Structure 1
Amino acid sequence: MQGRLSAWLVKHGLVHRSLGFDYQGIETLQIKPEDWHSIAVILYVYGYNYLRSQCAYDVAPGGLLSSVYHLTRLEYGADQPEEVCIKVFALRSNPRIPSVFWVWKSADFQERESYDMLGISYDNHPRLKRILMPESWVGWPLRKDYVVPNFFEIQDAY
């Protein structure tokens, strides 16, 4: 089932894949990493002027990593804002996705957290560095194949 935004993207020749609708009826689209930045700019111009949230997850051990963007179209006087969910999948071996910081400034800390926890590198992000873990931390803690390093906790001392 194709949604309104998907039909609009097809009409304008923009490559994507419709993933249907979530439980709230929000349209979900898959965008290739190499197309993401240009489509993000187009969506912003089209009216999706608010990045509600960005997160990332590990699809399966040894599989793809996904960066998820929840966009909202805020208009003055609108009863119900229009929303869309965008998923951008990246290979685990070299997960690179263009940053949308220059489109939506609210992507700053959210993309940094996805980098810190899953190792997804956001190209052209101005301050892409760890935000939760120490700079010396090795690995990406939210990957399903992550092996916890041996460390000593104070609670284990008693």
Structure 2
Amino acid sequence: MAEENQNPTPEEATIVEAGAVSQLLTENGFSHESLERDHSGIEIIKVDADLLIPLCTALYAFGFNYLQCQGAYDLGPGKELVSFYHLLKVGDNVTDPEEVRVKVFLPRENPVVPSVYWIWKGADWQERESYDMYGIVYEGHPNLKRILMPEDWIGWPLRKDYVSPDFYELQDAY
């Protein structure tokens, strides 16, 4: 019986097998990185912010015509912010559509990424929420302003280093 390597080297541990979407992007010259699949086994693609629009345009042309979800999260104080996109290829097989996830890792100090609103109109309010909660600026968005917090609110409430203000505004209930 062959002995399995129970202690992979760091190089072996970071190798991720490219999925079908990654292979398609590579064949067509789109720079990206394959990340480990998510808990559901769905392929994840990492792309630089400046290449997001060309890559997403290509994915749309390859049939990923539905933006299921756009959102963001914080990797922790002093670490990067992530803008993510869950894409589906909705066609004849609606019960089992092909899916892919796209992630853009952004610096905390100046998190700027192009808006995908012009590819998928459903990104409108989702990008506004990511802006409002994390401070990620979606360049080219037609109406990027706060959607949950008051316009004059200072800070980004879902960042892990956010400090809540010491006051609460009381308003009339009617």
For the superposition of Structure 1 and Structure 2, which TM-score range results when normalised by the shorter chain?
over 0.9
For residue 7 of structure 1, the aligned residue among 1, 23, 29 is 23
Higher strand share: 1
Structure 2 residue 106 is matched with structure 1 residue 90 = yes
Identical-pair percentage: 52
For residue 52 of structure 1, the aligned residue among 68, 79, 87 is 68
Structure 1 unmatched runs, 5+: none
RMSD: 1.2
Structure 2 residue 156 is matched with structure 1 residue 121 = no
Report the number of matched residues: 154
Secondary structure at 1:21 match in 2: coil
Q: Which runs of 4+ in 1 moved over 6 A?
A: none
Between the aligned partners of 1:30 and 1:60, the Cα distance in structure 2 is 19
1:41 corresponds to: 57
Q: Structure 2-normalised TM-score?
A: 0.85
Secondary structure at 1:140 match in 2: coil
Return closer, same or farther for 1:125/1:153 CA change in 2, 3 Å cut-off.
closer
Structure 2 unmatched runs, 5+: 1-16
Between the aligned partners of 2:138 and 2:93, the Cα distance in structure 1 is 35
2:6 corresponds to: none
Superposed CA offset, 1:22-59 (max 9, x none): 12110011010000011111111110000000110001
Q: Which amino acid aligns with 2:58?
A: I
Q: Which amino acid aligns with 1:12?
A: N
1:151 corresponds to: 167
Between the aligned partners of 2:40 and 2:20, the Cα distance in structure 1 is 15
